[in-house]
Structure 1
Amino acid sequence: MSGYAGPDSGPAGAVHVSGTGNAYANGGLANTGYLLIRKFIQVRQAAAPRPPLDVAADALAKAVRREWEKEARLRRLLEPAPLPVRWQVTQRRVAGRIDGAIAEDGRARFAPLPGLTAVTRDVLRRGGALPELHAVYGGLASGRLLLVGEPAVGKTSAAVLLLREALKYRAEAAPDVRGDIPVPVMLTPFGWDPDQENATDWVASRLSREYTLFRNRGGVDRARELLEEGRIALFLDGLDEVGGKQRAAMLSALEEASFRVVVVSRARALTGRRQRLSGAAPLEIQPVCSEDASAYLMNPLRDPAPSGWQELNRRLLDEPGSAVAETLTSPLAISLLRDIYADSDGRPVDELLDADRFPSTRSLQDHLLDQLVRAAYMPRPRRPRPRYSPETAERTLRYLATQVTQTQADRELRWWHIPTWTDRRPRMIFVGAVTGLLYGVVGLFTLWGTAGPVWACLLGPLCALGGGLLAAHHHSELSDQQPLPSAGWRDIFPPGAVALGTFIWLFSGTTSWLVFQLPGNDPFPAWLAYLAALPLGFGTTMVSSRGYKLVAGTILGTGSGPQYDELRNRLSQRPVTETRAVSPRDVWRHHIGLRLVLGLLTGVAVAVFSGSLVAHEYGLRNGVLVGATAGLWACLFAGPAGNLGVAAALSAVQLSISEGTPVRLMSFFEDARRRNLLRAAGPAYQFRHDWLRESLTSSARSEG
């Protein structure tokens, strides 16, 4: 055919274009067909189901990114631009030899992440900033990284920035290698008992509570599989906030984990011989250099900057020994200065340059600390409004600092000591009145139905008065300083105590049934014998465990005295509060929730025991009435009347009236912890810095 141009000797698939429109059309059709086929293959590939772990990892990365974007804004790590992170290999003895981290012998536990290279000794020696920190995180052969430093040096901020950098790196990776890049998640160690759970099981359990992705059926198993496959990297912050024994056990458990681990801690918490993470690269976050501090403070200002700021900047850069330069090596001091002066309504920064007023670093630091609480609770644009006003927060923290300084040698803020700060008499009256009213009403109703109206009117008020007085006295005992009671189900129901209680139940039930089968006794059904004996087994379990105080004073509390402590120690082994890192709020919730439930169970046990016996002798109706009355008393006595969490909550109401502190004091503690004013130390709180506590105490004294 005229004008046809056949295949040329060019590259395969190329079409030689010559002369006519037909040839061009034929070549265009061929190219179009090729593109359509390629597009079809891509669509089929995209439509193919993705592996479930890839889907779960991507969903987790999205949730973590959303969570920490919000948290970074709250911490002011996004706007303005954060201070640069500087790090060096620490000279402190907080880890083993560096050889175990880099594995120069070729026995690497983790291959470098896609696009990164293996970390060498020279890389660690050079130190660096955030990009180099991410390269170390992703290329470390051991997969174990320690971020340590002095208080207020910015360790947690560095970890948050590293986490965001790791998320960004994963999001920008090619889809075919993204699955080989783990999703970083940041957790605190509270709630972990390494003696009962290995690191993988604990993290999987925490993820199922933190992220809705893992709350459905099989969610924990999916999280565990991601961890076992190395699809998740753990950032553990706050290890220095748990006790030494727990910390050592956690570090040992982390050594065996199958995923990458980044531990954030104060350096001094890891200097003990048993407090080291084997195979970890220990990097110390460095104080802020003058150039970085200058850029952070001056860049947001207009050009030219006000004269006061220019002079402050000159001293910062040119006079390294000045009070200003030495003070502004801390991220906390730098951010405070910016919050107080750059974001204020024209407050002159010149006052910081007054050598007579601020002759030393300590005087300048104290001045900034005086503004710390107000700056932490100051409303700011595009941020959630603080729950508490600066005045309320400052007043509350001053009161807490004074109490801790005066009453605690170790300067710990123990919430279970709050009842000792207030007058116990108002709480006794309240608890006694409520208990007496409830018990009196039920007692009156019971006596009316069993003994008649005359006896009900005579004995009902006596029941109310006696019940109220006993409950008030029991509650008053909580106003004395005491150790923290048991904080876990395993303390209340250890296997040894449960076994002993089960034996007593079966033995008592069988014995009573056999006795009633003897000639001359009324028939007693076997099910009723075992039902009546069940409270005896429950009481035995409680008495022989660390929950014995819950039944003390009730019919089930026989043998609950301290003379049986040796038996309890044998049956209960170590208390959970010594082996499990529990946050203060979780412990408080435990006393509000768990012990109220146990008080209810105690009441039910007393009701079943007394009611079943009365029902057998005097009928079901009388048995129900007597059981309900006896059970209500035991429930109130063992539950709210003897609950430390309830006592702390009632004391918070008293403090709100007398001192102007928040009614929900535990919520305030947690809010102050989020704002880096308090820190958790196991089940107690501490002020984030001793000099903050001292500054607040001094302010309270000067105002007093």
Structure 2
Amino acid sequence: MRKKWNEEAKLRRLLEPAHLPVRWQVTRRKVAGRIDGAIAGEGRARFAPLPGLTAVTRDVLRQGGALTELHAVYGGLASGRLLLVGEPAVGKTSAAVLLLLAALDYRENAEAEPDKQARIPVPVMLTPFGWDPAKESATDWAAGRLSREYTVFRGKGLARARELLEKGRIALFLDGLDEVDRKLRAAMLSALADADFRVVAVSRARDLAGRRQRLSGALALEIQPVCSQDASTYLMTPLPDPAPSGWQELNRRLLDEPGSAVAGTLTNPLVISLLRDIYADNGGHPVDELLDTSRFPSTRSLQDHLLAQVITAAYTPRPNRPRPRYSPETAERTLRYLATQVTHAQDDRELRWWRIPAWTDPRPRIRLAGFVTGLLCGMAGFFMLWWTNGLVWACLLAPLGVLIAASQAARRHSKVTDEKSLPSAGWRDIFPPGAVAFGAFVWLFSGTVSWLVYPLPAWLTYLSMLPLGFGATLVSSRGYKLVAGTYLGSGSGPQYDELREGLSRRPVQESRAVSPQDVWRHHIRLRLVLGLMTGVAVALFFGSVVAHQYGLMTGLLIGGTAGLWQCLMAGPVGNLGVAAALTAVQLSRSEGTPVRLMSFLEDAHRRNLLRVTGQAYQFRHTWLRESLTSSTQPEGRLGPS
């Protein structure tokens, strides 16, 4: 968690340079119940204060505070239910990320006292998309997400994650409640009220208005707009001393003229960070232009000017920074298309790359998969039949083989958009020691039996049974879907999940979060290679047996044809990453987006236009997504002017 969120905080520029201070007050909005329900008296507290912290009191809450005090409230709140609310883009998610890091720091500082540390939960931030409280409790849903998104749960699965949640060893930070349907949000809040772990929920204040939208026992803290002094320190600290005259004048208006357009605009973290990104490096835009009161007479006009340059600022070359791989025009066109697709999604607002194949007409890809597979397998089959049965039979049967291969490949490729066939932690999940040992046993046992039963050389029996051991390894691990429905996939059904889970248990070698890029690499590097290896195994099995009986050339042709067919079906034809890559080519021709769309997504993440939430991307701000899907800027999206 520390590694993931430190990296994410750096990309969001929350750590370097120093972040804008977090200021909060107990909200006066009617988004939560009475404070007494959150700070229950002694003996009625649902959660005891974390070791080293004291119970939250009215006096503490009345004073408000910064990040340190926010962590004290999080750790000392009797109800264990905390809401962070505020205006759009006021810095709610940034405050939640900084609170999460502060909670991790606090836990690490207790390392010398294991008993004390064990009573401090590990904070985990998730988004609520895909959760239906009518079907899953908060604990079951969170356990499922943890088991998919963190490698520490590989081999332990849902049971271990659920146990940690039920014992309060994990605290749930939930961001994005304001992005789900109102009725669904009410059901989520009701489910969270009964959870056994601490909850920190982040939402726009207006989306929690109404009695049914309240989290029982919660304390609602409102994140405050940035004060002029904090904005001044944030903007002026990176500049040389003395600062350029334009910056000095802007700073004077910010501090001394509270009614000016400059002071009214620089109360929002997004706008403040944009101003620094656009002008601090002096990338051809002198900050003096913002001082023109005839051009920018109001807060709205100045705010709109800065917000309109979000993408341009991210993709403008800067001194001492890598040159952007994409032009601002290409980036804006691509992000506009992505925002449209995400907005049209019915269930959530996350950008999952494995849904990309559903964005275009699949028929061209299906035809391509069928054509290439049919052509290659047809050519291989033609030469095999020519060698074994003569030219006439080859000419008669090869076209039939082409049609069968093409139709099967097309059917297979049309079904690769299933998002459930997602990640493992890598090679260690496919080849855990238990599965490897089981595969070795199957290989040795089947080879020995074949040698005793059939009058074949020992080297041939063990060589021909090697693919069977390889298939047994895949079937008994999380690679079973790669060989399901093939010669090597006998026993790959869900009825063997319990045995498979037992053989896959192993000590965790590396604990990390599974990112969208990890899922992509899993499909392109791991699943694709394993699919090709499956084809090689099939070729080895058939080729070795046929070569012994009918000669080396016949064995090569028959084994090669069977292996090529399996290679294509288990490899590129059935690979979700390949389908997404082909879709990106289609989109490049029709929409003008980059051919390497996955690389663009990761680049946009590094430029802080997208953020990572588990295995998916999200737009940095709701305002950015909404502005990209409309011809005019959303009115009032960043709060009062």
Would you say the 8 A contact 1:436–1:465 is kept in 2?
yes
* Aligned with 1:389 (options 320, 324, 327): 324
Instruction: Pick one of 692, 698, 704 that aligns with 2:624.
Output: 692
What secondary structure, in the 3-state scheme, does the structure 2 residue paired with 1:355 have? coil
Q: Deviations over 1:606-639 (max 9, x none)?
A: xxxxxxxxxxxxxxxxxxx999999998997899
Q: Deviations over 1:516-569 (max 9, x none)?
A: xxxxxxxxxxxxxxxxxxxxxxxxxxxxxxxxxx99xxxxxxxxxxxxxxxxxx
Q: 1:423 to 1:263 in 2, by over 3 A?
A: closer
Residue number in structure 2 paired with 1:668: 600
- Alpha-carbon separation, structure 2, partners of 1:262 and 1:84: 19
1:248 CA displacement: 5.0
8 Å CA contact retained: 1:208, 1:220: no
AA at the equivalent of 2:66:
A
Asked if the contact 1:186/1:237 (under 8 Å) is kept, the reply is no
What is the CA deviation profile of residues 69-117 of structure 1, one whole-angstrom value per residue up to 9, with x for unaligned ones? 4443333222322111111223444433333211147411122234433
Choose from 131, 149, 154 the match for 2:68: 131
Secondary structure class of the residue paired with 2:69: helix
Displacement of 1:350 in angstroms is: 0.7
Task: Provide the identity percentage.
Answer: 68
Alignment of 1:22-61 (within 5 A): none
Match of 2:269 among 293, 318, 331: 331
Deviations 1:154-194 (A, max 9, x none): 11221222233334444556955733651442322478756
Counterpart pick for 1:464 among 402, 415, 422: 402
Superposed CA deviations along residues 555-612 of structure 1, whole A, max 9, x for unmatched, are: xxxxxxxxxxxxxxxxxxxxxxxxxxx9988998999999999x99xx9xxxxxxxxx
Q: Give the counterpart of 1:206 among 146, 151, 166.
A: 146
Mapped to 1, the partners of 2:110 and 2:406 lie a distance apart of 68
1:461-515 Cα shifts (integer Å, max 9, x gaps):
354267547866997x89xxxxx867479xxxxxxxxxxxxxxxxxxxxxxxxxx
114-123 or 681-690, which deviates more: 681-690
Does residue 653 in structure 1 map to residue 590 in structure 2? no
Residues 1:266 and 1:336: Cα distance change in structure 2 (over 3 Å): same
Name the CA distance, whole Å, in 2 between partners of 1:402 and 1:170.
42
Per-residue CA deviations over 1:446-472 (Å, capped at 9, x if unaligned) read: 755886541221331354267547866
Distance 1:272 1:595 in 2: 48
Q: State whether structure 2 residue 330 is matched by structure 1 residue 398.
A: no
On the 8 A contact 1:102/1:108 being kept in 2, the answer is yes
Contact 2:103-2:123 at 8 Å conserved across structures: no
Q: What stretches of structure 2 of length at least 5 have no aligned partner? A: 423-483, 486-513, 536-556, 633-641
Q: Does the C-alpha gap of structure 1 residues 198 and 77 become closer, same or farther in structure 2, counting only changes over 3 Å?
A: closer
Q: SS of 1:166's equivalent? A: helix
Contact persistence 1:114–1:180 (CA under 8 A): no
Q: Distance in 1 between matches of 2:614 and 2:6?
A: 28
CA contact (8 A) 1:86 1:127 kept: yes
Residue in 2 that maps onto 1:436: 374
For residues 187 and 407 of structure 1, the distance between their equivalents in structure 2, rounded to whole angstroms, comes to 21
* Residue 287 (structure 1) aligned to one of 225, 230, 249: 225
Which shifted more, 457-466 or 245-254?
245-254
Q: Do the aligned partners of 1:427 and 1:650 also contact (CA within 8 Å) in 2?
A: yes
- What is the identity, as a one-letter code, of the residue corresponding to 1:389? P
Q: Which protein shows a greater Rg?
A: 1
The 5 A counterparts of 1:476-491 are 487=420
AA in 1 matched with 2:199? V
Aligned partners of 1:233 and 1:260 also within 8 Å:
yes
Match of 1:237 in 2: 175
In structure 2, do the counterparts of structure 1 residues 381 and 117 end up closer, same or farther at CA, with 3 Å as the change threshold?
farther
Structure with higher RCO (Cα < 8 A, 6+ apart): 2
Q: 1:186 aligns with which of 104, 112, 124?
A: 124
Residue identity in the other structure for 2:231: A
In structure 2, C-alpha distance between the alignment counterparts of 1:97 and 1:628, rounded to whole Å: 73
CA change 1:303–1:666 in 2 (3 A) is: closer
Distance 1:638 1:288, change over 3 A: same
Q: Return closer, same or farther for 1:310/1:407 CA change in 2, 3 Å cut-off.
A: closer
Letter in 2 for 1:206: L
The answer on whether the counterparts of 1:230 and 1:258 sit within 8 Å (CA) in structure 2 is: yes
Q: Secondary structure at the match of 1:391?
A: coil
| Alignment partners' CA distance in 2, 1:360 and 1:169 | 44
**Please, which of 306, 314, 324 is the counterpart of residue 252 of structure 2?**
314
Q: Is the 8 A contact 2:5 2:101 kept in 1?
A: yes
Give the deviation of 1:140 after TM superposition. Answer: 0.6
Equivalent runs, 1:459-538 vs 2, <5 Å = 459-464=397-402, 468=406, 487=420
Partner of 1:79: 16
- Where structure 1 has 5 or more consecutive residues not aligned to the other structure, the ranges are 1-62, 479-483, 490-549, 552-581, 604-624
**Matches of residues 329-408 of structure 1 in structure 2 within 5 Å?**
329-344=267-282, 347-376=285-314, 389=324, 391-392=326-327, 395-402=330-337
Pairing 1:71-220 to 2, within 5 Å after superposition: 71-104=8-41, 106-172=43-109, 175=112, 178-179=116-117, 182-189=120-127, 195-196=135-136, 199=139, 202-203=142-143, 206=146, 210=150, 214=152
- Which residue type is aligned with residue 258 of structure 2? P
The answer (yes or no) to whether the contact 1:401–1:696 under 8 Å persists in 2 is yes
CA contact (8 A) 2:516 2:615 kept: yes
Contact 1:155/1:265, CA 8 A, preserved across alignment: yes
- Looking at structure 2, the residues matched to 174 and 425 of structure 1 have their Cα atoms a distance apart, in angstroms, of 57
Do the aligned partners of 1:315 and 1:325 also contact (CA within 8 Å) in 2?
yes
Aligned partner of 1:677 in structure 2 is 609
Distance of 1:319 and 1:670 partners within structure 2: 41
Preserved contact between residue 102 and residue 142 of structure 1 (Cα < 8 Å): yes
Q: Deviations over 1:123-171 (max 9, x none)?
A: 3343222222122112110111111223321112212222333344445
Name the residue aligned to 2:467: none
Aligned letter for 1:651? T
Aligned residue identity for 1:210: Y
Q: What does the per-residue CA deviation read over 1:292-316, in whole Å, with 9 as the maximum and x for residues that have no partner?
A: 2122222343444332122212322
Distance 2:104 2:524 in 1: 39
CA gap 1:689/1:419 in 2 versus in 1, 3 angstroms: same
How far apart, in 1, do the equivalents of 2:271 and 2:137 lie?
40
TM-score w.r.t. length of structure 1: 0.59
- Partners in 2 of 1:680 and 1:241 — Cα distance? 16
Contact 1:414 1:685 in 2 (8 A): yes
Q: TM-score, normalised by structure 2?
A: 0.64
**Contact 1:143-1:261 at 8 Å conserved across structures:** yes
- Counterpart secondary structure, 1:179: helix
Query: Residues of 1 paired with 2:161 and 2:629: CA distance?
Result: 46
Compute the displacement of 1:431 (Å): 2.4
Equivalent-residue separation in structure 2 for 1:179 and 1:695 (angstroms):
45
Report if the CA contact (8 A) 2:153-2:160 is conserved.
Answer: no
Cα distance in 1 between the residues matched to 2:288 and 2:123: 43
The one-letter amino acid of 2:374's match is G
Amino acid at match of 1:281: L
Q: 1:648 and 1:343 mapped to 2: Cα distance?
A: 37
Tell me, what secondary structure is at the counterpart of 2:235?
helix
Partners of 2:109 and 2:612 in 1: how far apart? 36
Please give the root-mean-square deviation of Cα atoms over the aligned residues, in Å: 5.5
Does structure 2 retain, via aligned residues, the 8 Å contact 1:378–1:390?
no
